[in-house]
Amino acid sequence: MHICLFDIDGTLIRSGGAGQGTFEVILEQHFGIVEGCEGVSFSGRTDRAILRDLFARHAIEDSEDNWNTFREAYLELLPQKMSERPGWVLPGVVELLAELTARDDVLLGLLTGNLAEGARLKLSHYGLFDHFRFGGFGDVHVDRNDVARDALANARAYQEETNGSSNGDAEVWVIGDTPLDVAAARAIDARAIAVLTGWHSRERLGVTEPDLLLDDLTDTETLLALWDQPV
């Protein structure tokens, strides 16, 4: 059995800046900060971590109330922003997910810094959400490695629910576009596939030593050959 944990932004889709654009509008409308996202890194990080840094940068209290205000506004505004700033599904993704979904020895999950509901909104927008059965998300954790641990625990729970037992010998794969995805893979003893469809150069991702570094996900033959190797 193979458990494949996919990142979203830069790996499955590019949202055309809808996510960051939504953060910006909320900072302005709810917290009075204009162009508040400048200088804060979004790539590969959890929404919780990004917001914590934004709050610190603009001297806004990192309280549960402020977090909830942000969260509610974000989920309400995101679909509109996605329509305004059309993004796209990255090359090979539709075909690869279809092939993996058709196999009975592969389980597909998410490992993303997005809020769980934000992940659903983004992937549903592109018709991709139904491929995924479980995941780890950015609602609570600041550290993406903790999200990876959640994703793996939820994968095991899903296996138990559906099979009556979890297969502890399953090979786990993390597919992502940032050095933080490769680090998250290592945090759960998973193998890492890095793709260059996000914001990082071949050199920058190469030094993180993923098991496989791909231009994009179009080479389904190479990818499927990986899943056919004995665990």
Cβ neighbours for 46, distance < 8 A, ≥ 6 positions apart: 113, 138, 141, 142, 143, 144, 147
Given the complex with Mg ion, which of 24 and 181 has the nearer CB atom?
181
**If binding is defined by CB under 5 A, does position 177 make contact with Mg ion?**
yes
**If binding is defined by CB under 5 A, does position 47 make contact with Mg ion?**
no
Contact pick of 2, 9, 45, 53 for Mg ion (by CB under 5 A): 9
In whole angstroms, the minimum distance from the beta carbon of 56 to Mg ion comes to 22
As a 3-state breakdown, the chain gives helix, strand, coil percent values, each rounded to 5, of 50, 15, 35
Residue 35: other Cβ atoms inside 10 A: 9
Given the complex with Mg ion, which of 9 and 150 has the nearer CB atom?
9
**If binding is defined by CB under 5 A, does position 7 make contact with Mg ion?**
yes
Residue 38: other Cβ atoms inside 10 A: 8
Nearest to 19 by CA among 108, 111, 109, 125: 125
- What's the CA gap between 225 and 38, in Å, rounded? 42
**If binding is defined by CB under 5 A, does position 19 make contact with Mg ion?**
no
Segment near Mg ion (CB under 5 A), from 124-132, 163-171, 176-184, 211-219? 176-184
Contact pick of 4, 10, 74, 90 for Mg ion (by CB under 5 A): 10
Given the complex with Mg ion, which of 36 and 44 has the nearer CB atom?
44
| C-alpha dihedral, 36 to 40 to 148 to 11, nearest 10° | 90
In whole angstroms, the minimum distance from the beta carbon of 182 to Mg ion comes to 11
Residues near Mg ion, by CB under 5 A: 7, 9-10, 177
